[in-house]
Amino acid sequence: MAVTLEAASVQHGLSQEQTAAVTASDRLLRVDAVPGSGKTRVLIARIAHLIQERGVSPRQILAITFTRKAAGQLQARIAASLGERAASQVVSGTFHSTAASVLRNHISLLPSCGRNRRFQILDQADSIGTMTSILKEQGRGPLERRLSAGNISEATFKAALKDSNRQAVSNGRILQGSISSLKGALTSHFGLNGHQAIKRLRDHSVRHDNPSLVTSMSEEMLRHLAGAFDAYNQRLQGLNQFDYDDLMAGIVALLTDRPELLARYQRAYTHVLVDEFQDTNAAQYNMVHQLVGQEGNLFVVGDPDQAIYGWRGANADYMQHMLNRDFPGLVTIRLRDNYRSTPQILAAASWSLAGQDPTKSDLLPFHPQSSGGLPVEVKAAEDGKEEAEWVVETIQALIKDEGYQPRDCAVLFRRHMQGRLFEQAMVLAGLPYILLGGEPFWGRREVKDVMAYLNLLANLHNNAALVRIINMPKRALGDKALSGLQSWAKLQGKSLGACLFGDFPSTVPSRTLLEESLPPVVQLMQRRSPDRPLQERALMELRAIAAEQLPALPSAKDIGLTPAAYKAASEFRCQMAVIRLQAEICEAGELIEVVTDVIDLEEYIKSGTYSKQGDPLERWDRVRLLKTLVKEFQGAGSLETWEDETLLEYTPEPQKRLEGMSPLQDFVNDAALFSPDDMAEKRETNAVRLCTIHASKGLEFPVVFVVGCEEGNLPLLRGNETPNDAEVEEEIRCAYVALTRAEKRLYITHAAERYVFGVLHGQYPSHLVELIEASQGLC
C-alpha cells in the first residue's frame, strides 16, 4: 500500500524526522527521542498511519502506556483523528491493566497462582497495609498469650502492643518493598515458598555474577524475609487477591506455560506499541517480548536519559541493549528536534546531564526548534523560607509584568516535603496553587475510606477494607474492640466479615422481591430524595429489614467486647446491611451516595471531626469527584475489548461482563489500577503547580522553578549511605527531567541553610548549579 508521507505529516503536524518514524516500514522499531521531541504525537500518528495507510485493523493494535491518564489521552487523540469507533477498538492500557484483563479471562489456565477470575487487585498502599496488619497480628499473639498466662500486667501489655504496632508500620513498608523486589526479579514466584524464591534468586545472582537484593542481606534478614513472603502471599491467595507484582508475574507465567494461548494473542495483536519504554522492568519487558514473538510488529518510544524509576525495578537497559539482543533487525530512529524549550534551557539541561560541556561528551545533541529566549536565572537564597518567598514574588511579577497566568508556572522539587514552604508562601501571598503528585487522588484518606466501603461490599472477606472502616466514622470500635473481634473470628476459622455479616445478603429477599415488597421505600432511596425526614424514614425501614435478616451476634462476652463496643458493632452491622441491601438495587455510582448517606460522611467531614488537617470542603469535594468517576466508569467498560472472538474458546462464558463480577467489583478493581501518577485533580484550574519532579514527568510549563538545588538534595542522597553509580546517575537524570519541563523561562534556586526533618542544616549549592551557570556563559 502506498505510504503518503505528506498526508501523515500534514494531518498530524509532523516534522520530517517525526514523519520518518511514523511511516517507517520496518517491523521492529525503536524511537529514541530527546525530551520535548513529540513522542506522544509520534505514537498516535503511528497508530493512525497503521490503520489508514497500512490497513491494519484497530482491533489488532495494542498500545501500552505508562499511566492510565496517558492511555486515556491516547484514546481521546485517536478518537479525534480517526473517530470514536476506531479509538474504542484499539486496545490501550497500562501494563498492569493489560495483564489484569488477560489474567481475568484465562486464570483457570494458571492453577499455580491459586486465584479465581473474581480476583481483587491491591494497589501499592493496600499491599503495604496487608503486610503491616500481618506484622501487627504476629506481634499481638505472643503478647496476648503472656497476658492471659498472667506473665505481664494489662499496662505492660498495652505499652508493648503500642510499640509492636509502631514497629509493624515501619517494617510493613520495608518488607513489602523487599517482597516486591524479590517477585520482580523472578520470572514467576507462583508455587514457590519464601526460601525457594530466595534460593532461586541467589543462584541466579551467583551464576550471572549480578548482585541482587538477596546477596546483600544477612542470613537472619533472609529468614525474616522468607517468613514474611509466605505469610503475605498466603494472605493474598486466601483472599483471592493479586498485588501489582503478581499481575505481571501472572501474565508472564501464563504466556510462558501456555504456548497455544500466547500464539492466539500474538495473532490477535499483531502490532504492539509501547510508550516510555525506558521505564519497563523485567516482567514488563518479558511480556512485550512474548507478545511480539518472532513475527509481531513492535514500535517502542522512549528516552533512556529520562529513566527515573530504577528504584522500583525499571531498567533502561531493556530499551538500550536487550531489544537489540532479542529482536534482531531492530531499527532505531532518533528524534533530536526539541519543540518545547529555548536554546538556553536546553543548554542548561544538556550540560547538567553530561556533567561538562556536552560537545565534549558522547551525549546526542538537541536541535532546538525555537530561537531567542532569556538566560536561565539562578537565585541563591539565605534559607528555605526566603527561597519560597522569592519564587512567589517572581511569579507575581511574571503575572503582573509579562502576562503569564498562575497555571503557566510550576515549582518542581525533589522531595515531597519541600512543597510545604511553598504552599505556605503561596497562601500568604494569596496566589492560587495546586499540589500535584504529592498525595495522589487515589491515595487521599477520604477516597481510600470510601473505596474501602466499596471494596468490602464487593468482597466481605476483605479484611484490610473492613479494618479500615470499622471505626470510620468513629463508633467505639477502636483497636481493642477490633482485636477482640479478630480473635473471635480466628476461633471461628472464618474471616471477620463472614463472622459479622454471615451470608447476608444472599439470605435476604432478591432485588425483585425487595422492590415488590417495599416499593415506596426503595423508589425513594433510588431517587435519592432531597427530603431529609422522608429519607430518614426510608433508612429506618430498611434498617429494620436488615436487622431482621442478619444472623444473630453471640453475646458481648463471647466476642470479647465491652457493652458499648457491642452496641457499636451491632449498629455497624446494621449500617452495612442497609448499604448491602441498597447495593442489590442500585448502580455503583449511586452506591457511593448510599454509603455516604448511611454513615453521614458529609457532616462528619465538614464538621472537622474526620480530620483536623486539610480543608474539610476539599475533602468532601474529592468524595463527590469519586462519585463522578464511578459514573464515568460505568459508561466506559474496559474488559470486553480483550474478549476477542479468536480467544473465546478460552473463556467459558463469553459475556460482556465476566460471570460473577458485579459492576461494583469491576470498578473497585479498575480503581486499584490507577497509578499514583494518575491525577484526577481538575487540570484546567488557573493555579501554580507545586509538583515533585517524578510527578512532572511528561508535563510541560512555560515557566519552571527547579528549587532546592543543593548537594544531597538535588541530586538526592538518601540517608548516610554512599550511593552507587547507578543511583547517582538516576539522580542526575531526575534533574534533567525537571529542567526539560520548561518552555520559556527557567529558574534555579538554592538555599544556604534549610530545615531537614526539623534540624537546621548548612547547605552547599549542587554541582549542577555551576554547570548550569557555565552553560549560560556566566562563568
Ligand X SMILES: Nc1ncnc2c1ncn2[C@@H]1O[C@H](COP(=O)(O)OP(=O)(O)OP(=O)(O)O)[C@@H](O)[C@H]1O
CB < 8 Å & 24+ apart, contacts of 658-661: 658/104, 658/105, 658/117, 658/118, 659/117, 660/117, 660/118, 661/117, 661/118
- The β-bridge partners of 298 are 28, 272
Stretch that binds ligand X, among 37-45, 111-119, 156-164, 386-394 (CB under 6 A): 37-45
Nearest by Cα to 585 from 543, 650, 522: 522
Judged by CB under 6 A, the residue of 23, 37, 97, 266 near ligand X is 37
* Annotated binding residue 384: no
Quote the least distance from Cβ 691 to ligand X, whole Å.
14
Nearest by Cα to 38 from 336, 350, 299, 373: 336
Stretch that binds ligand X, among 9-17, 133-141, 203-211, 540-548 (CB under 6 A): 9-17
Quote the least distance from Cβ 69 to ligand X, whole Å.
13
| 15 is a site residue for ligand X (CB under 6 A) | yes
| 124 is a site residue for ligand X (CB under 6 A) | no
Q: Do 706 and 735 touch, CB atoms closer than 8 A? A: yes
| Interaction pattern, residues 298-337, with ligand X; x per rule: CB under 6 A | -----x--x-------------------------------
| 619 is a site residue for ligand X (CB under 6 A) | no
| 211 is a site residue for ligand X (CB under 6 A) | no
| 39 is a site residue for ligand X (CB under 6 A) | yes
Residue 418: CB atoms within 10 A of its CB come to 22
CA separation (Å) from 674 to 21, 68, 97, 436, 442? 30, 6, 9, 15, 7
Contacts with ligand X in 371-430 (CB under 6 A)? none
Judged by CB under 6 A, the residue of 41, 223, 490, 767 near ligand X is 41
Distance spanning both ends of the chain, measured CA to CA: 56
Stretch that binds ligand X, among 38-46, 200-208, 394-402, 686-694 (CB under 6 A): 38-46
Element (H, E) at 46: helix 39-52
Quote the least distance from Cβ 652 to ligand X, whole Å.
42
Residue 27: CB atoms within 10 A of its CB come to 16
Q: Do 701 and 742 touch, CB atoms closer than 8 A? A: yes
- Which residue's Cβ lies closest to ligand X? 38
Judged by CB under 6 A, the residue of 339, 441, 633, 650 near ligand X is 339
Judged by CB under 6 A, the residue of 8, 18, 298, 456 near ligand X is 18
Give the separation between CA 529 and CA 521, rounded to whole angstroms.
10
Closest CB to ligand X among 250 and 368? 368
* Beta-carbon contacts of residue 697 (< 8 Å; ≥ 6 apart): 306, 308, 677, 737
Cis-peptide into 530, omega within 30 deg: no
Query: Taking the CA of residue 702 as centre, how many other CA atoms within 13 Å lie in the half-sphere pointing to its CB?
Result: 12
Phi and psi, residue 755, nearest 5°: -80, 130
Closest CB to ligand X among 167 and 320? 320
Judged by CB under 6 A, the residue of 59, 77, 340, 619 near ligand X is 340
| 616 is a site residue for ligand X (CB under 6 A) | no
Instruction: Give the pairing of strands 28-33 and 331-335.
Output: parallel
| 146 is a site residue for ligand X (CB under 6 A) | no
Nine-digit cell string for 59: 482491533
| 368 is a site residue for ligand X (CB under 6 A) | no
Judged by CB under 6 A, the residue of 65, 75, 94, 740 near ligand X is 740
Closest CB to ligand X among 45 and 425? 45
Closest CB to ligand X among 289 and 340? 340
Q: Is the dihedral of CA 559, 564, 569, 570 positive or negative?
A: positive
| 36 is a site residue for ligand X (CB under 6 A) | yes
Tell the residue number behind the cell numbers 512555560, with chain if given. Answer: 702
Quote the least distance from Cβ 743 to ligand X, whole Å.
8
* Annotated binding residue 611: no
* Annotated binding residue 67: no
Residue 631: CB atoms within 10 A of its CB come to 14
* Annotated binding residue 39: yes
* Annotated binding residue 33: yes
| 13 is a site residue for ligand X (CB under 6 A) | yes
Q: Alpha-carbon Rg of the chain, whole angstroms?
A: 28
Stretch that binds ligand X, among 31-39, 134-142, 532-540, 658-666 (CB under 6 A): 31-39
Quote the least distance from Cβ 738 to ligand X, whole Å.
11
Contacts with ligand X in 454-473 (CB under 6 A)? none
By CB under 6 A, the count of residues binding ligand X is 19
Stretch that binds ligand X, among 14-22, 406-414, 416-424, 625-633 (CB under 6 A): 14-22
Quote the least distance from Cβ 65 to ligand X, whole Å.
11
Quote the least distance from Cβ 56 to ligand X, whole Å.
23
* Annotated binding residue 437: no
* Beta-carbon contacts of residue 183 (< 8 Å; ≥ 6 apart): 189, 197, 245, 246, 249
Quote the least distance from Cβ 196 to ligand X, whole Å.
41
Q: Do 567 and 433 touch, CB atoms closer than 8 A? A: no
> Burial, 252: exposed, middle or buried (Cβ in 10 Å; 0-12, 13-18, 19+)?
buried
Stretch that binds ligand X, among 29-37, 325-333, 356-364, 504-512 (CB under 6 A): 29-37
Quote the least distance from Cβ 23 to ligand X, whole Å.
14
Task: List, as one string, the DSSP characters of 179-223.
Answer: HHHHHHHSS--TT--HHHHHHHHHHHHHHTT---GGGGS-HHHHH
Quote the least distance from Cβ 744 to ligand X, whole Å.
12
Closest CB to ligand X among 316 and 546? 316
Nine-digit cell string for 19: 514523519
- The β-bridge partners of 331 are 29
- The β-bridge partners of 271 are 61, 297
| 437 is a site residue for ligand X (CB under 6 A) | no
| 33 is a site residue for ligand X (CB under 6 A) | yes
Nine-digit cell string for 710: 543543593
| 38 is a site residue for ligand X (CB under 6 A) | yes
Quote the least distance from Cβ 248 to ligand X, whole Å.
24
CA separation (Å) from 104 to 110, 138, 495, 650? 11, 32, 24, 11
CA torsion angle 431 740 337 775 (round to 10): 110
Our separate counts of H helices and E strands in the chain read 33, 17
* Annotated binding residue 419: no
Element (H, E) at 537: helix 532-549
Closest CB to ligand X among 14 and 71? 14
* Annotated binding residue 35: yes
Quote the least distance from Cβ 120 to ligand X, whole Å.
33
Contacts with ligand X in 496-555 (CB under 6 A)? none
- The β-bridge partners of 753 are 383, 762
Instruction: Give the pairing of strands 701-706 and 742-756.
Output: parallel
Closest CB to ligand X among 35 and 505? 35
Element (H, E) at 690: strand 688-692
| Buried/exposed code over 646-681 (b: 16+ C-beta within 10 A; e: otherwise) | ebeebbeeeeeebeebebbbbbbbbbbbbbbbbbbb
Stretch that binds ligand X, among 39-47, 277-285, 430-438, 506-514 (CB under 6 A): 39-47
Contacts with ligand X in 693-732 (CB under 6 A)? 698, 700
| Interaction pattern, residues 168-207, with ligand X; x per rule: CB under 6 A | ----------------------------------------
Task: Give the interface with ligand X as residue ranges (CB under 6 A).
Answer: 13-15, 18, 33, 35-41, 303, 306, 339-340, 698, 700, 740
Query: Annotated binding site: which residue ranges?
Result: 33-40
Which residues fall in the annotated binding site for ATP?
33-40
